[in-house]
Structure 1
Amino acid sequence: MRTINADVVVVGLGAMGSQTLWRLAQRGVKAVGVEQFDIGHSRGASHGESRIIRTAYAEGAAYVPLLLDSWRLWAELEKDSATTLLDRTGGLMLGREDSPAITGSIASAEEHGLKYSVLNARELHRLYPQHRVSEDMMAVFEYDAGIVYPEKAVHAAVDAAVALGARVVRGTAASVEPGRVELADGTTITAGHVVVAGGGWTPRLVPGLAPHLRVVRRVVGWFAATAAYSPDRFPVFIRMDESWEHNWYGFPAIDGAVKVGLHSWPGIDEPVDPSGGVRPPDALDAARLGDIVADTLPGVDPRPLRMATCMYSLTPDRHFLVGARDGLTVLGGFSGHGFKLAPAIGEAAAGLAVDGGSDLAIDLFDPRRFDDPGR
């Protein structure tokens, strides 16, 4: 038995936990991070080689201030780590005129004065012939969009935190309560505050959140592509229908392969028990992704070179959980659109842990909203 004392302990060092640990260390806080696997592992939702970052946010204009904070903090982490963590490619949101891809992106851009262009089907065909679209399709092109490299980002944040004095304990599971973390190896960590950033394991770590989080399986695939899909010619993209029910996304060809994944789609929300891991990709996954590629991306081979799985943690309203719950600071429910915001979420979590609040725009994500719908 051993005891470790800290000001703050962060449980889970994926996207949000790694950034929280870094922001705590930046403040000079005596912080300990706990990760049950290794740093940058592929068991959760912080892997897969690439993530989209964008600013004209279709999910709501309330996200834009946090996105602007995130761009600034990503640049700070790149400088601190001497590592390239982002590439700007621009981004296309494709859909029909009344789809959230179009209406939401324009609303966010207009409210916050962001630079964007609207392209009709003819302009899309001329500028981006890599997308096959019907005559009633259009797109919003935003300039402040591109790629974040998730494994590199997690390592960079943890390494920067350690360089500033944070301590990391890895390879052991944890249980949490206010002011205390018990590790499976018999270690006890006492702290003034505990931050839980457990991804798919959050419902087990904080049982009071279990009714408000679903953990489901997702699959992405990489497909051989021509030079027309290189990052200098093919922006990151998201494409959706009017209801947001069919929603998929993709990346330019890095090392010759375009990556495509489904964000929402009928029949894909397969529940996952994180302790058993996510079921591997199968022939149905390959066919579903391959059909989308064949229908919409001419010049890309619809037979996947490889595929990978991850977990989504979904709240009922698809907004995040950032705030106090059961004496803890909880970070969860990032629903497949959180990685880009990780530095700002980490900064907010550090403020919540140390100061009891944050100046960042996180009211939308208060975990208590599901307990008291009238809030």
Structure 2
Amino acid sequence: MYDAVVVGLGGVGSFALRALAKGGARSLGIERFSKGHTWGSSHGKTRIYRRAYYEHPSYVPWIEYSIQQFQQLENYCGDSLMQECGTLLMAPGNVDGSLPPRLQASYDSAEKYGIPVEFMSNSNLRNRFPQFNFDDTTSNHPLVGLYEPGGGILRPELIIDAALKEAEQHSQTSIREETTVVSYEELESYVEILLRSGDGENEAIQTKALLISAGGWAGQLLPSWSPHLRVLRQLSAWIDVSSATDPNLYSYKNMPTWVMDTPAWPFPLYGLPCDSDDHGHKHWLKVGVHGREDVLQDASNNPIHVSGLELEEMVSASLLSYNQSLLGAQGTLFKMVLPCLYTMTPDSNYLIGPLRENSRVFAVAGLSGHGFKMTPALGAMMADFALGKNLDAWHFEFCSPERFRFMHM
């Protein structure tokens, strides 16, 4: 019998398995695809990390913990897994001079936790960051910014690979790829799980704790949580800036990660600078859309290729985001466009906790497009549950499914 079985080995699951291994547990990781796949939510070459958190200030301690774990993982594997380059939030300024909502919420988190941030007027933005398009003719309110110098880049594929390798260094940790969970049943002292391998063979196993971090597939395994989860198809694109006026402008040495609100687009845009350490793609500039209402009834029905309309959408996103006079003709010629899954909750805060009181099943779901930076903390919560540790110090009450208890009655 296993001490714990982790279902889903993306960002959260890989760190849960790592924490279980460090805790001496006999554990098994289950992945329906192969390790490091691009079908879910834990890929994309680079991801943003930031501490001044507008979604909810209670996330900040989890981010701080996670950054420490990323750094420890770097020491283990010897690779560069993160890069500080700053994070810039931009939104149309208010007439009365007050901060726009996203910037104000970030500023409040920064004030509470002593995180350095800098307000930037439109003229400051233009002078310091000419890479961006500040000529939005649809708004009478020029963009203003909040700059966090301590933000930066995470490298998700490298991170997951390193976390799983460290977990597998422990003799009591094993991983099964191309394996799905058919069903599970909680019994008095354990959970029985029916697995199906890629060749169609079924096998029943037992575990003291079942930890579910299945991303877009979580709703299929968590029927009581499913009404609170929606899977949305998002898009990211990469522009080759090697022929730009000054390609070095787009390196992380000269450009921050960023999130932009603009009246010209129905939801936020975001992007990341070129990762100069990724030698095969060191001139690839990223742009993404955050919050597209493209609902998938089944996460498995997510085409890996993008349609013509989706490509046009990403061209528009690039034109709105970046200063095309500096990019030239390359500004709308993409080297790659990839889909990514967001599993959303109604309020965009996570779902975390046991399925019910005294349950042996603990899940993390609904990361709502802002979860990768906190995967070490979320994985540690899952491992602590399986290892019988007190979870009070994590303070995840605001992510409890109980907040939606009466929503669908």
Aligned counterpart in structure 2 of residue 140 of structure 1, from 135, 146, 152? 146
Name the counterpart of 1:233: 254
The CA deviation at 1:368 is 2.4
Name the counterpart of 1:325: 355
Counterpart check, 1:345 vs 2:378: yes
Q: Distance in 2 between matches of 1:356 and 1:316?
A: 30
Q: CA 1:243 to 1:222, structure 2 compared with 1: closer, same or farther past 3 Å?
A: closer
Matching of residues 1-375 of structure 1 within 5 Å: 5-97=1-93, 98-134=99-135, 136-165=142-171, 166-174=173-181, 175-178=183-186, 179-184=191-196, 185-225=201-241, 226=244, 227=247, 228-241=249-262, 245-254=266-275, 255-265=282-292, 268-278=293-303, 280-298=305-323, 299-300=326-327, 301-326=331-356, 327=359, 328-355=361-388, 357-358=390-391, 359-371=393-405
Q: Is the 8 A contact 1:100 1:242 kept in 2?
A: no
Percent of aligned positions with the same letter in both sequences?
29
Q: Distance in 1 between matches of 2:77 and 2:193?
A: 29
The CA deviation at 1:244 is 9.9
CA deviations 1:255-296 (Å, max 9, x no partner) are 21211111125xx33324123333621121221221222233
Q: Is the 8 A contact 1:101 1:239 kept in 2?
A: no
Q: CA 1:244 to 1:106, structure 2 compared with 1: closer, same or farther past 3 Å?
A: farther
Output the amino acid matched with 1:363. E
Output the amino acid matched with 1:289. M
Output the amino acid matched with 1:141. Y
Q: TM-score, normalised by structure 2?
A: 0.86
Q: Is the 8 A contact 1:11 1:34 kept in 2?
A: yes
CA deviations 1:163-197 (Å, max 9, x no partner) are 12311111111133331221113222211110011
Output the amino acid matched with 1:342. T
More strand by share: 1
Structure 1 unpaired stretches of 5+? none
Say what the alpha-carbon RMSD is for the aligned residues: 1.9
Q: Is the 8 A contact 2:77 2:162 kept in 1?
A: yes
Structure exhibiting the larger radius of gyration computed from Cα positions: 2
Structure 2 unpaired stretches of 5+? 94-98, 136-140, 276-281
Output the amino acid matched with 1:180. E
Q: Distance in 1 between matches of 2:92 and 2:112?
A: 21
Output the amino acid matched with 1:211. P
Count, aligned residues: 367
Q: TM-score, normalised by structure 1?
A: 0.93
Q: Is the 8 A contact 1:86 1:148 kept in 2?
A: yes
Q: Distance in 1 between matches of 2:382 and 2:263?
A: 34
CA deviations 1:53-107 (Å, max 9, x no partner) are 1100111211111111111111111112222211111110111234333111111
Q: Distance in 2 between matches of 1:177 and 1:224?
A: 50
Output the amino acid matched with 1:338. G
Give the secondary-structure state (helix, strand or coil) at the position aligned to 1:208.
Answer: coil
The CA deviation at 1:360 is 1.6
